[in-house]
Amino acid sequence: MKKFMNDPLKFVDEFIEGILYAHPDKLKSINGDLKCLVRADETKDKVGIVTGGGSGHLPLFLGYVGKGLLDGVAVGNVFASPSAQQMLDVTKEVNKGKGVLYLYGNYGGDVMNFTLASEMAEMEDIETKHVLGADDVSSSPKGEESRRRGVAGIFYAYKIAGACAEEGADLEEVARLAQEAVDNTRTIGVALSPCIIPEVGKPTFTIGEDEMEIGMGIHGERGIRRSKLEPADDVTGAMLDKIFEDFEYKKGDEVSVLINGLGATPLEELYIIYRKVYKTLEEKGIKVYKPYVGEFATSMEMTGFSISILKLNEKLKGYLDVPCETPFFKQL
């Protein structure tokens, strides 16, 4: 197991400590619990947005807590949900009386704990709403969108709901916009190599030296096609086809594209992927607005990438444009 770490059982606490040493003006932990983090800046009277999920996906989830984005996060161990109590603690801290949106990925443990947290919050007179990231087209067929896993495309829901909340919208409106972003986002991923969970010490799956798996999830969940690795343009084309089968784009549509590296894939290669995505969309008469290329939701040292496409309208575009700032993501 070739990882830079100390005690595997302290992996999460230690990286969070490092983050808090590096960014004390941006993030703070509450109740002496390193896994309950909120914005360090004073937020005005606004709807709070809380996320949460397992570790191992930086900058997801805690990296999106900051100005113009989210207000707090409950951090779990690697690939494990945080507890309902941690979610509640964060909720109470970020609640400014206008309610709290729970915006997180569609995974069993997270759904269960956020549901429990919202029941506990209700007893403290804090109104909450849930919106779930469910953008992975390969995790459940068309018609069963709500059963899909949430992956990198949740970035768009964070960005849009965050801008909307910062502007002063009420809970219903922030939740509506977050849901609209989710409904308009489609993602598909591909993996070439696994990662190692520190506490476990062995790869999450095995795959041949010359193989790829399209549709694999960010925890190594089984994909939809395993085959020999193909040229980048062919892989990208096959992945785009899956998205096009799932969502109807028309000539003249505007979209944002997110090419997300899963951890070990060089930025050079992500831009080779973007090149093919851009050219393919252009051929279809679809205009790309504000593309994002980089690491937005990783699986530690997994090799692979995902493509997310957000169909835009004027309102989504406006919120996408709003500046934001966290230690991990800045938009001017």
Name the residues that contact a second copy, by CB under 8 A. 2-6, 11-12, 14-19, 21-22, 55-56, 58-59, 192-193, 195, 209-210, 229, 231-233, 235, 263-275, 278-279, 288, 291, 293, 295, 298, 300-301, 303, 305, 325, 330-332
Q: Is 23 designated active site?
A: no
Cis peptide before 61 (omega within 30 of 0): yes
Q: What are phi and psi of 111, to 5 degrees?
A: -60, -45
> What are the structure tokens assigned to 133, written together?
């990231």
Spatial neighbors of 200 by CB under 8 A, at least 6 apart, are none
Nearest to 255 by CA among 277, 229, 236, 235: 277
Residue closer to a second copy by CB (options 57, 149) is 57
Residue closer to a second copy by CB (options 29, 179) is 29
> What are the structure tokens assigned to 330, written together?
């800045």
Residues facing residue 105 across a β-bridge: 133
Strand duo 27-30 + 287-288: pairing: unpaired
Separation between Cα atoms, residue 73 and residue 53, nearest integer Å: 8
Residue with tokens 């990296």: 63
Angle between helices 171-183 and 314-321 (to 10 degrees): 100
Nearest to 205 by CA among 219, 188, 186, 226: 219
Q: Is 57 designated active site?
A: yes
Residue closer to a second copy by CB (options 109, 327) is 327
Provide the Cα torsion 43, 82, 222, 58; round to 10°. 50
Residue closer to a second copy by CB (options 95, 193) is 193
Q: Given 57, 149, 159, 311, which residue is catalytic?
A: 57
Residue closer to a second copy by CB (options 30, 264) is 264
Spatial neighbors of 265 by CB under 8 A, at least 6 apart, are 192, 303, 304, 305
- Shortest distance (Å) from residue 200 CB to a second copy: 15
- Contact (CB, 8 A) for 94 and 41: no
Residue closer to a second copy by CB (options 58, 116) is 58
Q: Given 26, 149, 186, 219, which residue is catalytic?
A: 219
- Shortest distance (Å) from residue 201 CB to a second copy: 13
The catalytic residues are 57, 219
